[in-house]
Amino acid sequence: MSEDKLMHVTDAEFESQVLKSDKPVLVDFWASWCGPCLAIAPIVEELAEAYEGKLIVAKMNVDQSPVTPGKYGIRAIPTLIVFKDGQVVEQITGAVGKAVIESAINKALS
């Protein structure tokens, strides 16, 4: 799986890339030292490929961009948030299975 299906966003780009997106956006808030984050990374990449064209999948490194996670009250990682029309529609914390993430994505797409 190539990483090019994933968008990497920073605090500076968050509003333009996520909140103003015309498609739902799944944002994976993660850090390189977080074992569970690394464990779900392949699932997030798979979903980026599976939903290409319908959903944007973005990753935000919380160490490099701490402002946005703070705004959304993220205390634990990995946290996945699905945004639609600039609003949070689903939020998942922890290393969860693919079905849980897909369920959240499908709510945003319906």
Q: Could you give the angle at the alpha carbon of 3 between the alpha carbons of 72 and 35, nearest 5°?
A: 55
Q: What CATH number did the domain enclosing 93 receive?
A: 3.40.30.10
Distances (CA, A) of 4 to 47, 52, 63, 108: 13, 11, 21, 23
How far apart are alpha carbons 85 and 107 in whole angstroms? 13
Predicted structure pTM score: 0.94
User: Which residues form the domain of 48?
Assistant: 3-109
Task: Give per-residue pLDDT as tens, 77-94.
Answer: 999 999 999 999 999 999
Task: Give per-residue pLDDT as tens, 45-85.
Answer: 999 999 999 999 999 999 999 999 999 999 999 999 999 99
Backbone conformation region of residue 29, classed left if phi is above 0, alpha if psi is from -120 to 50, else beta: beta
**Catalytic (active-site) positions:** 34, 37
| Percent above pLDDT 70 for the chain | 96
Looking at the 3D structure of the chain, how many domains does it have? 1
Q: Could you give the angle at the alpha carbon of 64 between the alpha carbons of 92 and 90, nearest 5°?
A: 15
